[in-house]
Copies of this chain bind each other. A is one copy, B any other.
Amino acid sequence: MKIVTAVAPVNIAVIKYWGKRDETLILPINDSISCTLATDFMCAKTTIMASPTFTDNKFWLNNEEVDFNNKRLNNCLTEVKKRASPKCADLLNWKIHICSENNFPTAAGLASSAAGYACLVSTLAALYEVEGDISSIARRGSGSACRSIHGGFVWWQKGVQPGGEDSVAVQIAPASHWPEMRMIILVVSDDQKKYSSTSGMKTSVETSELLKYRSEMVVPKRVKEMVEAIKTRNFENFARITMQDSNQFHAVCLDTYPPCFYMNDVSRSVVELVHSYNKYKGATKVAYTCDAGPNVCLYLLEESIDEVVTLINDVFPSSVGPSEYFRGLPVNIKNRGGLQEVLKIKADAPGSLKYIIHTKLGDGPKLSTEKSQHLLTEKGLPHTS
């Protein structure tokens, strides 16, 4: 028998992926760029065991057994097996047990599928000793998962080949390239109707004329500018493009028929807060970006963290204790109220934010052979947690 375990990071796009040109191969209509987050506070973890004694393939997700008959899962498995090392010939005939979990609440609406599939594919690739790029395999599980295969700043190139061989993620720069970069994830309380991003982007491709223009005319320019901003560590440009692209992505969702709404009034208050703060500072010190949900991710440099978190804490008072409200890297709340009054921002109702995660850039998936790390026992069953 053989057992491997990996952890994989979440990534948050600064140039958004929205729209497929091929639904089956998951090929995008435009390039996208993201930052990979440290796995300390948010990550997916997967253990896979292969054994000649297993009678069935099994899959446990967040401590529940789920159907192995999942198209995306099997697409990934098939692609990995195609590229298995000759050394693993026997292994290919063994059944496998997969156990996966996220160390952050999926309820929070934080894209868990990217980390999940990046983790699954990294673990499978280790199991079958696959060589070379695996981002195009992770892409088959969930498009944005290909970006979680690398650390730091990552560029998913849409590619041109019909088979998608060249639709791969490449690293622009490692996390160490810009050590001052920080993210604050604002988890918004929300009871609005949810729109699936898979069906949402399909409807956008079918109905939004603005999406066509965006993907063909706007994104290619922005990708060039963003790569340059990252390479030269130009935060002002990095932040401006990030905000403009987040807004344009949500504009396209609104131009979709029927429209999909992902941001809510709380997300919008955060956006307005960021623009007021930057205006007050006379420079772009903070950027916001929202994905297919109301949560907001702020990008900022370490130097701004304390002032910004203090402002957020004043404008969005918590309805829970500080230890539950502030998660991740430590934050230092300074004298309250001051800046909020200067900016004349009305405080929101307590609890409109569920909690706040302070985190930083991180590396790609990590393998672990250490026994204590495995999510499966020697019998190949989940530890009853």
* A209 located at the interface, meaning its Cβ lies under 8 Å from any Cβ of chain B in the complex: yes
Flag if B192 contacts A248 (CB, 8 Å): no
Flag if B265 contacts A257 (CB, 8 Å): no
Known A-B contacts A257-B244, A271-B259, A275-B258; the reply to A251 vs B192 at CB < 8 A is no
Name A274's closest neighbour in chain B (CB-CB): B258
Flag if A255 contacts B248 (CB, 8 Å): yes
Instruction: Name the interface residues of A244-284: CB closer than 8 Å to any CB of B.
Output: 244, 247-248, 250-252, 254-259, 261, 264-265, 268, 271-272, 275
Flag if A272 contacts B210 (CB, 8 Å): no
Which residues of B sit under 8 angstroms from A243, Cβ to Cβ? 257
Flag if B258 contacts A250 (CB, 8 Å): no
Cβ-neighbour of A254 out of B213, B250, B272, B275 (below 8 A)? B250
* A379 located at the interface, meaning its Cβ lies under 8 Å from any Cβ of chain B in the complex: no
* A218 located at the interface, meaning its Cβ lies under 8 Å from any Cβ of chain B in the complex: yes
* A81 located at the interface, meaning its Cβ lies under 8 Å from any Cβ of chain B in the complex: no
Flag if A248 contacts B210 (CB, 8 Å): yes
A315 CB, min distance to chain B CBs, angstroms: 13
Name A253's closest neighbour in chain B (CB-CB): B251
Cβ-neighbour of A210 out of B192, B214, B264 (below 8 A)? B214
Number of interface residues of A (CB under 8 A): 31
Tell me, in angstroms, the Cα distance from A240 to B259 when the chains sit together.
12
Instruction: Name the interface residues of A3-33: CB closer than 8 Å to any CB of B.
Output: none
* A82 located at the interface, meaning its Cβ lies under 8 Å from any Cβ of chain B in the complex: no
Which residues of B sit under 8 angstroms from A61, Cβ to Cβ? none
Tell me, in angstroms, the Cα distance from A346 to B259 when the chains sit together.
19
* A224 located at the interface, meaning its Cβ lies under 8 Å from any Cβ of chain B in the complex: no
Question: For A240, A254, A258, which residue has the most chain B Cβ atoms within 10 angstroms?
Answer: A254
Cβ-neighbour of A252 out of B192, B240, B251, B261 (below 8 A)? B251
Tell me, in angstroms, the Cα distance from A282 to B94 when the chains sit together.
51
Which residues of B sit under 8 angstroms from A209, Cβ to Cβ? 213, 217-218
A36 CB, min distance to chain B CBs, angstroms: 26
Instruction: Name the interface residues of A185-223: CB closer than 8 Å to any CB of B.
Output: 191-193, 209-210, 213-214, 217-218
